[in-house]
Amino acid sequence: MNDVFKALSDPTRREILQMLKRQSLSAGQIASAFDIGKPAISHHLSLLKASDLVQAERDGQNIIYSLNTTVFQDVLAWVYEMRGAKEKTDEDE
């Protein structure tokens, strides 16, 4: 979970996730949307993969990135669980 929050803490990585929400993309397609170098995009994609927020699949010479919605479901479940725990604590007071 720590890797997920670290990955989400950067605005460039959040924008990449927004792009992947719409469609799967190659690294080149992702890089063309930003005014930063390809090594920086590669670093962002590596962190997103390490956190399992994105999946990478080879398609010939390209690597296609897609959103891993399972991890988002796990994060949302954790947030809802924490919210429920706080509400119970508030009710106990």
What are the sequence ranges of the domains in the chain? Answer: 2-68
Q: In CATH, what class is 2-68? A: mainly alpha
pLDDT digits (tens, 9 = 90+) for 24-38: 999 999 999 999 999
Distance CA 8, CA 52 (A): 12
Q: Which two three-digit tokens encode residue 33?
A: 């949307």
Q: Residue 23: is it exposed, middle or buried by C-beta count within 10 angstroms (0-12/13-18/19+)?
A: exposed
| C-alpha pair distances (Å), 64 with each of 5, 74, 89, 93 | 23, 23, 45, 51
pLDDT digits (tens, 9 = 90+) for 7-62: 999 999 999 999 999 999 999 999 999 999 999 999 999 999 999 999 999 999 99
Using pLDDT thresholds of 50, 70 and 90, give the confidence band for residue 76.
Answer: confident
